[in-house]
Structure 1
């Protein structure tokens, strides 16, 4: 007889019992995690309710009594209530109907109607009140909310993944475990009947699959780690506020999810047509390799790039385009892609490397500097994200058998000129790569020619429909006259843009971004000399020593250009006059202060200590009165106090300050009452330098405590008393840098 293929023998009752015990433990861990997560979220909901109530009461206290007539369609008489001293809706809400009807001229009907109308307005306000956390107002309700959120934030980006796995396992085992019970013993199987035995055997097989999948992905370990985080004792209020300021976006991501405060759907989807929007929302987004939670609009942006394959992501600056791109790369990695390429300006290269390795499990390789050949070889061999500059992309040689999962081009408006070498290099790589993501925060609505050039790299088939004035289509030309929304619909297959005001409905008015750069060769030489000389102040400004090659200055110009594209005013702060002069000259100024009455084009200032108070205010007034985009330069000591700069919504700080209060006071000049836009604060930093050492020290526990312990009238009036000693900080950093550079080999670009 020939060989007979036989099925694996069915597990014995003893083996089934052991299997079901393991499954029972796994299911119990899954249910426990879900319960702990639900309890933590319930704590947030309870704290959130108190914050909403307080915020609503504050708003109700500013709503005049006359608004009650709107709710009652004018039938309510409010004059008697006003004569009795009631001025706002809150006054009525805090008074009982019985007390109201006792007032002269009010009566029972008017009292009931007034109180009911006040309650209706209160409910509407509580549902729509903006949730904004003010670090300068640390009330008990908001502190309790941050403490509750802290537990979920500390569970980290593994929490959503663990929760999804727990729900999946709990749901599967809920039906499989009862169905598998007859297989625990021979007699039970006998009594179960033919159909019962079939179901039991099938359930056992599927339970084996569940456990095998859990073992392969270390699910039990994931459950254990997340559960430990969820069960940690609550942090103190001080710790919660400190952590919030450093990780505000993570707190707001969770708050938006739990409070269901996502923005208007149409706006958050970039006003895309329904057919494209539906296709994007149907696109799955795998988070296996992602280590950051996404806002709803960010998830939509990532799925847009996946569903449409070759696109331009044009979200306004400050909305997290880099995180959306990393989410796309992480998804593609989970689906089997291994090699990805990012081309960006040199000024943001190190930011990309840091963000990829912080926000995902992917390895990032910098293809720049003396180690670029070794980094390239390692990337080719193992995969990951290679990050290079758009200006060196033409020199990049990758074997033909290395398939790119995606090409990302950051600040893509830099390649708008098809005749430029870098543009031609990008075009060649676009031809070689199936998936391409262009990123630019510069609006394209009024730059149809530039936009058409970018589209040409990605979707040449769309060019005929984008011909300005084309008789057969003319979509972009017509859209230009009809406005931004019409333009977006015309270019919807390839372009997605969302604005801050559309999607950051509940975020704070203040968004901090650290911009990390690397020294250029000349700046590094200046820095090494300053370190050798023990000159702390020269170390701090060495990154601007040679303006023509300064990476910091280049990034500053890019930020200013992007703000100009969005029509935003910018204020630039530095401690040093020579840095201000270099910035002034780079922006097209003379590098010297303006004469009184000379507005100086788009650049105003610099404001410095030798300008009198009247002249300072005149410069600020001219900056404020300027139509559209303008830039104000100021020494941080001079402009950081006493001036109102709320016309600016972008703040750039050229170097970190020794005293944290100096930065916070400077930012407060723009982020203050009267500011109608969200304020973006960009602090430009150099890696492996005095900047990084300063931040490491100032972020230590003692420095943090001092920073936040100053919340009192006395401390606020004497900031010098709580800041770290400049002399001690300088001495420590100089000594550390002298030791580090004595053992480090010179880097090469």
Structure 2
């Protein structure tokens, strides 16, 4: 037995210690979260049990209990029964020990059920010591990110394999131990050394020692300050709530999270492995199931309601396929979400996103064909690209797939050809399809012609359950109320749009004139081809199809006028109220809001952001659209708070419409670093909440700087124009 074997055992022991350390470090952080969560969870469960009448205990015991004397004694809720305990219950006349035992057992079952279903909500506008402690504990895990989870999982697997091998190899750790070991122990030790050597080499090739070391550093670092943790929570609340749901055990009902799929299909999907090595974001359980569904079923429609993260699920499927060796993927979507897709791909994965759009799209397509990556293009541009041969494209993703429901349209035919040629296809739509069997059949026909032929109107007439069963092989839909029990009630989405040619022309004219306010609203001056307006229509239409009301905010009256004309001209007939502007008397503003609220079903309310941002309650709306970024972020916060407030029963989605490459991008970048931490304090100030103008971020200076920088970037100063004119 030589030094080589001893070195192998020592190396294995070091790797095992590092793996154990990662697990221990992660365990301490998880325990800190659970310790911070417990009092809040107990309080929430207590409120739940205090709302359940004692009579419910009869339901749990199938009517075996007689509770008349218990109620007469003053114990009227399940919570009060548990608090009373066995001694006090036994003192109630006519209540014997057997009844006490049955009553407490039933009450504990209800308590256990409440612990599994109750949700703890974190109020960002009213932080308190308990919620701050929870956010701080969660912040460590969120900051550590998916790499820490990957490290913990890898460490657990490695520990399970290395531990027994190191025990068997113990005689090989020393020369004398080996001499004293018997023949069987020596043979076992040598075999273990060989396996340890292979495991260590495998781990080093996978970079596990470095992964473990970095994870331990991240898990031990801790949050910097309370304010930093709260600000990060606002920016990444979905990730915080995802971890909270996982650690609290408050997961949604499995059948709901799996879209009520039949057992055989659900089991097939569950067995699908999901590789996360190229992914930079954690998934909620229902999102993991959605990605697995797309992979296991190969050609599917993901019909989740808006706000459930269909894009993230698609990226998870793409990164899994990339880990398996696929190199080419294509996303087809409306022009209004092109930029969003490329940004999400870059932010959420290690994959390379490539824009296949604009005058150079054919050159970009050739580059994508040669180098690979995730090509992102529009329905119209797709028609000009040659369809692939079999096996070239790992997955075709079609966003807003209801846009290709007409089989006679050229865009639909192009998508159908690509879907046929690609091994996997993922169609995504937030529009419910249950009552649109003819349209749905057309989409299914691109993915599974046989299933499409078997679908008939009777499936819809028989109701949602029959429809879901008939289309289960290709269709998965989940609703917010089924899977977002722990998600925060506010989701903020930046909608980055690429200006159309007319938009760009109007913007250049505003820059040339040095008119900052005109630059801010230039994206709406040519409504026929306005990229922002097109996206706004899509958001309102999808919200309406899901039965949701929308509030649209803008700083500018003329922008609201353009929006009103566009929405009233759109098919569907969604009622439009407003606009609420500074010229509308305060009393009349509330009447407009009341009329908007009274509408049964979808409706749109238009409001000037400063006129409607104070004093009005718009909680009937669950979708908010902000037409342009505001110079003072507090104005946005206050406007959003009109919808996102007590009494709002659905989560609120806020869509900020932003244009790339101009005043919007400069405003966002200039303000985000300067005001986020300050705003985290200001929003918690009663004075700042009441008077948003008290937050001074130097409007005039910001406007001047942006105008000068944009004139320099576009070469549109007055001097430049004069020189250009003299040269002609």
TM over 0.5: yes
Q: Which of 625, 629, 653 is 2:602 aligned to?
A: 629
Residue 453 of structure 1, aligned match among 442, 446, 459 = 442
**C-alpha distance in 1, partners of 2:262/2:57?**
40
Q: Relative to 1, partners in 2 of residues 1:171 and 1:574: Cα closer, same or farther, differing over 3 Å?
A: same
Aligned counterpart for 1:318 among listed residues 302, 307, 329: 307
Task: Compute the TM-score of the two structures, normalised by the length of structure 1.
Answer: 0.88
CA shift at 1:15, angstroms? 1.3
- Is this contact kept in 2: 1:76–1:113, CA < 8 A? no
Q: Trace 1:407-426 onto structure 2 (pairs within 5 A).
A: 407-426=396-415
Query: Which residue pairs with 1:169 in the alignment?
Result: 158
Shift in Å, 1:451:
0.5
Number of the residue aligned with 1:612: 585
**Contact between 2:391 and 2:423, CA under 8 Å: does it hold in 1?**
no
Shift of 1:561: 1.4
Is 1:484 the counterpart of 2:464? The answer is yes
Match of 1:75 among 68, 71, 80: 68
After superposition, what is the alpha-carbon deviation per residue over 1:244-298, rounded to whole angstroms, capped at 9, x for unaligned?
Answer: 0001011011111111111111111111111100100011001111111111100
Report the Cα distance in structure 2 between the residues aligned to 1:126 and 1:264, rounded to whole angstroms.
Answer: 13
State the SS of the aligned residue for 1:76. helix
C-alpha distance 372-204 of structure 1, shift in aligned 2 (>3 A):
farther
Q: Note the C-alpha offset of 1:499.
A: 0.6
- Consecutive unaligned residues of structure 1, counting only runs of 5 or more, are 1-11, 469-476, 591-599, 745-749
Kindly tell me: are residues 226 and 529 of structure 1, through their superposed partners in 2, closer, same or farther at Cα, counting changes over 3 Å? Answer: farther
How far off is 1:63 after superposition?
Answer: 6.1
Corresponding residue number in structure 1 for 2:532: 552
How far apart are 1:44 and its partner, in Å?
Answer: 0.3
1:561-572 aligned within 5 A: 561-572=541-552
Partner of 1:508: 488
Q: 1:430 to 1:60 in 2, by over 3 A?
A: closer
**Number of residue equivalences:** 709
1:574 and 2:554 matched: yes
Q: Relative to structure 1, is the Cα distance of residues 143 and 110 closer, same or farther in structure 2, using a 3 angstrom cutoff? A: farther
Superposition pairs for residues 376-391 of structure 1, below 5 Å?
A: 376-391=365-380
| Residue of 507, 516, 523 corresponding to 1:536 | 516
* CA distance in structure 1 between the partners assigned to 2:113 and 2:392 by the alignment: 54
Whole-Å Cα distance in 2 between the matches of residues 198 and 126 of structure 1? Answer: 52
Equivalent residue of 1:682, what SS? strand
CA distance in 2, matches of 1:203, 1:77: 66
Structure 2, unpaired ranges of 5+: 718-728
> What residue number does 2:726 align with?
none
The CA distance in 2 between the partners of 1:640 and 1:37, in whole Å, is 43
Structure 2 Cα separation of the partners of residues 331 and 436 of structure 1: 14
Cα distance in 1, alignment partners of residues 529 and 88 from structure 2: 74
Q: Distance in 1 between matches of 2:7 and 2:711?
A: 62
Between 199-208 and 378-387, the greater mean CA deviation after superposition: 199-208
C-alpha distance in 1 between matches for 2:6 and 2:213:
24
- Shift in alpha-carbon separation, 1:721–1:271, aligned structure 2, 3 A: same
Relative to structure 1, the CA distance from residue 659 to residue 29 in structure 2 (aligned partners, 3 Å threshold; closer, same or farther) is same
The alpha-carbon deviation at position 436 of structure 1 amounts to 0.7
Structure 2 CA distance for aligned equivalents of residues 196 and 613 of structure 1 = 89
Stretch moving more, 704-713 or 179-188: 179-188
- CA change 1:113–1:701 in 2 (3 A) is farther
1:656 to 629, 632, 642: 629
Greater shift after overlay, 228-237 or 345-354?
228-237
Query: How far, CA to CA, are the matches of 1:93 and 1:280 in structure 2?
Result: 41
TM-score in terms of structure 2 length: 0.90
2:200 maps to 1:211:
yes
Give the alignment partner of residue 443 of structure 1, picking from 407, 432, 443: 432
Aligned to 1:281: 270
Q: Equivalent of 2:256, from 267, 274, 296?
A: 267
CA shift for structure 1 position 67 = 7.3
User: 1:5 matched to which residue of 2?
Assistant: none
Whole-angstrom CA distance in 1 between matches of 2:565 and 2:408: 29
Checking the alignment, whether the CA contact within 8 Å between 1:572 and 1:654 is kept in structure 2 is: yes
Give, in whole Å, the separation in 1 of the partners of 2:85 and 2:168: 59
Alpha carbons 1:65, 1:88 under 8 Å: kept: yes
59-68 or 702-711, larger mean C-alpha shift: 59-68
* Whole-angstrom CA distance in 2 between matches of 1:401 and 1:420: 24
Tell me if structure 2 keeps the 8 A contact 1:242–1:708: no
Question: Deviations along 1:300-346, whole A, 9 cap, x unmatched?
Answer: 01101111001011111100000000000000011111111111111
